Amino acid sequence: MQSKLSDIELIEQTLAGNQSAYADLVKRHQRFVFTLAMRFAKNREDAEEIAQDCFIKAYRSLASFQRQSKFSTWLYSIVYTTAMTFLRKKRIDTSSIDDEATYIQIENKPGTYDVNNIENKSRSYYLNQAIEQLLPDDAAIITLFYKGEQSLEEIAQALGIEANTVKVKLFRARQRLKEKLERNLKHEVKELI
């Protein structure tokens, strides 16, 4: 059962020595962190390693968390820097898609097989497929804004850039996402005909 305490309360309890409070914090944010890690790493094993490293780094630097932003915004900046460092060490091409099926499987929980559920999964599939094809920065901004429900200001703070720059990057990322969706769906329609 997840704690009903706020992130700030859990952080304060963790700093006071309550280890189970940090476990609750991890449970609350693990899907968010793993999803972001998948956006960068493109495969489950690397994403798991990045996510684990992020939570270790977050724990070690929890005392430095500034409460002006959301904990998830601060956590995003850790995910971003950890993923970029990890990928540089591995020297992989971050724009390739290695394990798209794994990510889609994670995002689409099994459910009933009604028409609406299948249609929603299909939409999720194409959206996730298009997001996976974006550059890591574009995918991260789209993910933070729509799935992470972060404001432009929070994203700017996490990335260390101005809010207006985030607005421009988000606009451009949306355009590139739209192009990817149109190209992917056009290909799917051709296969049906």
**Mean pLDDT for all residues in the chain:** 79
Are 154 and 70 within 8 A, CB to CB?
yes
Counting other chains too, the contacts that 130-134 makes at CB distance below 8 Å and 24 or more residues apart are: 130/177, 130/180, 130/181, 130/184, 131/39, 131/177, 131/180, 132/39, 132/42, 132/97, 132/100, 132/103, 133/95, 133/97, 133/180, 133/184, 134/173, 134/176, 134/177, 134/180
Poorest-pLDDT segment among 16-25, 67-76, 89-98, 124-133: 89-98
CATH of residue 113: 1.10.1740.10
**Is there a domain that residue 150 lies in?**
yes
In a domain, 1, yes or no: no
- How many other C-beta atoms can be found within 10 angstroms of the C-beta atom of residue 143? 20
Average pLDDT over residues 20-24: 93
Residue 132 lies in a domain: yes
Q: Which domain holds residue 74?
A: 7-192
* 67 within some domain: yes
160-192: per-residue pLDDT in tens? 789 899 999 999 999 998 888 888 777 665 555
pLDDT band at 106 (very low <50, low <70, confident <90, very high): very low
Answer yes or no: are the C-beta atoms of 78 and 158 closer than 8 Å: no
Is 101's pLDDT higher than 60? no
Q: What span, in angstroms and rounded, lies between the C-alpha atoms of 180 and 187?
A: 11
pLDDT at 66 over 60: yes
Lowest mean pLDDT among 57-61, 141-145, 176-180, 187-191: 187-191
Is residue 93 domain-resident?
A: yes
pLDDT score recorded for residue 104: 46
User: Under a CB-based contact definition with an 8 Å cutoff, are residues 130 and 180 in contact?
Assistant: yes
Count up the domains in the chain and report the number: 1
**Is residue 7's pLDDT more than 60?**
yes
Considering the domain boundaries, does residue 113 fall inside one? yes
What pLDDT, on a 0 to 100 scale, did the predictor assign at position 187? 65
Q: Evaluate whether residue 2 is within a structural domain.
A: no
The answer to whether residue 53 is domain-embedded is yes
Give DSSP secondary structure letters for 94-142. Answer: TTS-S-HHHHHHHHS------HHHHHHHHHHHHHHHHHHHS-HHHHHHH
- What single letter denotes the amino acid at residue 94? T
Average pLDDT over residues 75-88: 87
Q: pLDDT at residue 11 above 90? A: yes
